[in-house]
């Protein structure tokens, strides 16, 4: 349908004709006048309806409209200082497309449980619409950055047969009588993809049966994963730094005012990000009185403390082998650590996990056996090391995690339209 968006009307001239289509937020009546606060995807505007412009039945119908009724309004632009935003629409014709039931469940003061149960309706709010706009822009900028830098989008399966990130968080399902799982990461398939396209990425959901309820874990999250042939640990860290810093700067320049309407303190982080090893990290933590036994992973609390000590984003590298999945390449100088990295961010901790992969067949086979997996399950993945194996590296970035940072969200469930957590799979 040919129509104007509400966002456009504020730059129009007095008397210009517009056709708006949207949803009634509120209707207030003042004698022979009605004031509709009308919403569409681009914002809100006040529509004034005069009784003498419409037939009496039409006037009364509009007066009685419930919140979220959908309408089409034709009218003209009035510049009026008293109207919100300095513009209102004087209606000449109002068509009610669908009158809303009077029991719209999202009202001021309803509990977060109700907002969650009615997520299919609560995403219409002004704040949620902004948040979803920012999310969509972020996804677009990540894709564009990668394509601009020579990466190809490579689509990976969701139904898989072997764990990438350990068995504890696998969702199992019955695949015509065989065991299958929902993917935890598309990494192994991207590793196959580099032999075809060299620089690949995917942006798709990963699934983790996370048993714990935290403010930064979802059971289904959107995962931006990148894999590059002929790349080492240092190369992949440089890539992670460049994409994150560039995309956040671009996001800020495009819609910084929208971001700051949700998180007034947002400013994009500047390159270079600090780089420390795991060993340096545990030394820094021990100076703060936090003792980490060498070989244990860092938890969310420790990550946040590290970020505070360093004063901004920080790469932690060279984790002990015991803390990482089997595919990470052991450091040739020091076999007990792997060429891995995490990128830690303020407010949320880890947003990226990545590193260099084992490219040698025998080493990979040994690591699979050491971890107690069966080599038959990884037979196709092992094949990649048989036919012209190359050094390669990659990473995975959690889209919702980075949104928690950008918007300073109290919980990751607000970073996605329909969150999946241990306690929620509806709506």
Query: In the complex with ligand 4AD, which residue's Cβ is closer, 268 or 354?
Result: 354
The burial class, CB within 10 Å (0-12 / 13-18 / 19+), for 78 is middle
Span 400-419, contacts to ligand 4AD by CB under 6 A: 400-401
- Enumerate residues 6+ apart whose C-beta is below 8 A from 237: 275, 315, 317, 341, 354
Instruction: Give yes or no for residue 221 binding ligand 4AD (CB under 6 A).
Output: yes
Count CB-CB contacts under 10 A for residue 291. 9
Q: Do residues 125 and 83 make contact, with C-beta atoms less than 8 angstroms apart?
A: no
What are the E-state strand segments in 43-104? Answer: 43-50, 70-79, 87-98
350, 360, 371, 408: which one binds ligand 4AD (CB under 6 A): 350
223 binds, among Mg ion, ligand 4AD, none (CB under 5 to 8 A by kind): ligand 4AD
Q: Do residues 278 and 314 make contact, with C-beta atoms less than 8 angstroms apart?
A: no
CB of 219 to ligand 4AD, least distance (A): 7
Name the one range near Mg ion by CB under 5 A: 229-237, 238-246, 264-272, 351-359. Answer: 351-359
39 binds, among ligand 4AD, Mg ion, none (CB under 5 to 8 A by kind): none
Q: Do residues 193 and 227 make contact, with C-beta atoms less than 8 angstroms apart?
A: yes
Instruction: Give yes or no for residue 353 binding Mg ion (CB under 5 A).
Output: yes
Name the one range near ligand 4AD by CB under 6 A: 33-41, 49-57, 96-104, 213-221. Answer: 213-221
398 binds, among Mg ion, ligand 4AD, none (CB under 5 to 8 A by kind): ligand 4AD
239 binds, among Mg ion, ligand 4AD, none (CB under 5 to 8 A by kind): none
21, 34, 164, 243: which one binds ligand 4AD (CB under 6 A): 164
CB of 297 to Mg ion, least distance (A): 9
CA quadruple 39, 141, 306, 266: dihedral positive or negative? negative
Output the furthest CA–CA distance in the chain (Å, rounded). 86
Q: Do residues 356 and 233 make contact, with C-beta atoms less than 8 angstroms apart?
A: yes
Concatenated DSSP letters of 32-47: TEEEEEEEETTEEEEE
Helix, strand, coil proportions of the chain in percent (round to 5)? 35, 30, 35
C-alpha dist (Å) from residue 388 to 19, 327, 375: 62, 18, 20
Query: In the complex with ligand 4AD, which residue's Cβ is closer, 208 or 385?
Result: 208
34, 244, 351, 364: which one binds ligand 4AD (CB under 6 A): 351
**CA–CA dist 223, 400 (Å, integer):** 9
183, 187, 202, 317: which one binds ligand 4AD (CB under 6 A): 187
**125: phi then psi, degrees, rounded to nearest 5:** -65, 160
**Residue recorded with tokens 């979802």:** 218
185 binds, among ligand 4AD, Mg ion, none (CB under 5 to 8 A by kind): ligand 4AD
CB of 231 to ligand 4AD, least distance (A): 12
Size of the site for ligand 4AD (CB under 6 A): 23
217 binds, among Mg ion, ligand 4AD, none (CB under 5 to 8 A by kind): ligand 4AD
39, 119, 217, 413: which one binds ligand 4AD (CB under 6 A): 217
Name the one range near Mg ion by CB under 5 A: 253-261, 286-294, 324-332, 348-356. Answer: 348-356
Query: In the complex with ligand 4AD, which residue's Cβ is closer, 256 or 346?
Result: 346
Strand partners for 49? 34
Instruction: Give yes or no for residue 154 binding ligand 4AD (CB under 6 A).
Output: no
CA quadruple 213, 216, 222, 223: dihedral positive or negative? negative
Instruction: Give yes or no for residue 354 binding Mg ion (CB under 5 A).
Output: no
Closest residue to Mg ion using C-beta atoms: 353
Q: What is the binding site for Mg ion (CB under 5 A)?
A: 353
Q: What is the binding site for ligand 4AD (CB under 6 A)?
A: 164-165, 185, 187, 208, 210, 217-218, 221, 223, 225, 350-354, 394-398, 400-401
């Amino acid at each position: 349908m040919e129509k104007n968006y509400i966002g456009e009307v504020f730059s129009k001239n007095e008397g210009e004709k517009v056709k708006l289509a949207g949803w009634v937020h509120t209707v207030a009546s003042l004698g022979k006048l009605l004031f509709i606060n009308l919403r569409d995807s681009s914002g809100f505007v006040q529509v004034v309806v005069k009784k003498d412009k419409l037939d009496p039945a039409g006037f009364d119908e509009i007066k009685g409209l419930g919140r979220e009724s959908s309408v089409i309004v034709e009218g003209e632009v009035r510049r009026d200082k008293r109207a919100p935003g300095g513009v209102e629409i004087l209606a000449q014709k109002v068509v009610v497309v669908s009158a809303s039931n009077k029991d719209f469940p999202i009202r001021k003061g309803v509990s977060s449980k109700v907002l969650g149960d009615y997520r299919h309706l609560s995403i219409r709010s002004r704040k949620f619409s902004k948040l979803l706009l920012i999310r969509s822009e972020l996804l677009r900028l990540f894709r564009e950055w990668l394509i601009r830098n020579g990466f190809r989008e490579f689509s990976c399966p969701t139904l898989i047969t072997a764990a990438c990130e350990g068995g504890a968080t696998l969702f199992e399902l019955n695949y015509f009588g065989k065991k299958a799982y929902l993917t935890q990461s598309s990494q192994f398939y991207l590793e196959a993809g580099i032999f075809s396209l060299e620089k690949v990425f995917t942006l798709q959901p990963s699934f983790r049966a996370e048993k714990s309820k935290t403010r930064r874990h979802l059971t289904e999250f959107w995962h931006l994963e990148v894999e590059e042939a002929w790349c080492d640990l240092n190369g992949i860290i440089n890539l992670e730094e460049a994409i994150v810093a560039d995309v956040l700067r671009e996001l800020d320049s495009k819609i910084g005012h929208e971001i700051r309407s949700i998180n007034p303190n947002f400013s994009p982080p500047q390159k270079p990000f600090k780089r420390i090893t795991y060993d340096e990290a545990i030394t820094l933590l021990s100076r703060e009185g936090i003792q980490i036994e060498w070989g244990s992973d860092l938890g969310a609390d420790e990550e946040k403390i590290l970020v505070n000590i360093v004063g901004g984003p920080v790469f932690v590298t060279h984790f002990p082998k015991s803390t990482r999945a089997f595919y990470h390449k052991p450091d040739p100088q020091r076999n007990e650590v792997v060429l891995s990295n995490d990128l830690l961010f303020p407010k949320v901790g880890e947003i990226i996990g990545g590193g260099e992969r084992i490219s040698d067949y025998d080493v990979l086979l040994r690591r699979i056996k050491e971890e107690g997996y069966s080599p038959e399950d990884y037979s196709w993945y092992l094949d990649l090391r048989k036919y012209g194996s190359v050094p390669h590296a990659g990473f995975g970035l959690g889209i919702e995690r980075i949104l928690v940072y950008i918007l300073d969200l109290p919980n990751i469930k607000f970073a996605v339209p329909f969150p999946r957590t241990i306690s929620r799979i509806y709506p």
